[in-house]
Structure 1
C-alpha cells in the first residue's frame, strides 16, 4: 500500500536542478526528488502530492523540521488537490 506525500519544499541548486521534498502529513517521513527543469516541463509540472512505497521514505529526525513539514503538508492538503500542478 502506498503512502500519500505532499510537496513541502522546492529549491533550485547552482546547476539548475530542482530539488523537491514531499512529506507525510505528520512530517515524520519524506521523499526527496531531484529533477532537471526540462524533465519537470515534459512531465507537465510538479504536482501537489505523490504516492510512494513506505519502504522508500526517509525518516525526519529533527523535531523542528518535522513540525515545519507537517504544517506545510497540511497547508497543501487544504489548498490543493493531489494531482494539481503547483
Structure 2
C-alpha cells in the first residue's frame, strides 16, 4: 500500500436491472467508500470479486448517513477478520 492509499473492504454487492454488479468497498471505520460498477463478464474474467481493494484516499466518497457508516464499519470489520484481502468472495 502506498502512503496515499488505504485498504477498503467489500461491504455491499447489488445487481441492477441491466445485470451490472455494484460493489461498495468501505474503510473499517465506515467513514469513506468507493463504489465500483462492473459487468458480470468483467468480474468473471478478472477472477472474481476480492474481499478488499486499495484506493487512493482522494478517490473516496464520504458516508454522510450515521446509520450507514455504522453498518459499513461493522461489515468491513467482519470482512477484515474473516478474509484475506486477496480472497475471492
Structure 1 partner of 2:59: 56
In structure 1, the gaps of 5 or more residues are: none
Q: Is the aligned partner of 1:43 residue 2:46?
A: yes
CA distance in 1 between counterparts of 2:55 and 2:77 reads 18
Deviation at 1:41? 0.2
Q: How many residues align structurally?
A: 86
Provide the TM-score with structure 1 as the length reference.
0.99
Deviation at 1:15? 0.1
CA distance in 2 between counterparts of 1:43 and 1:77 reads 21
CA distance in 1 between counterparts of 2:30 and 2:83 reads 18
In structure 2, the gaps of 5 or more residues are: none
**Cα RMSD for the two superposed structures:** 0.3
Deviation at 1:21? 0.1
Misfit runs of 4+, over 6 Å: none
Please point out which of 5, 16, 19 is paired with 2:22: 19
Provide the TM-score with structure 2 as the length reference.
0.96
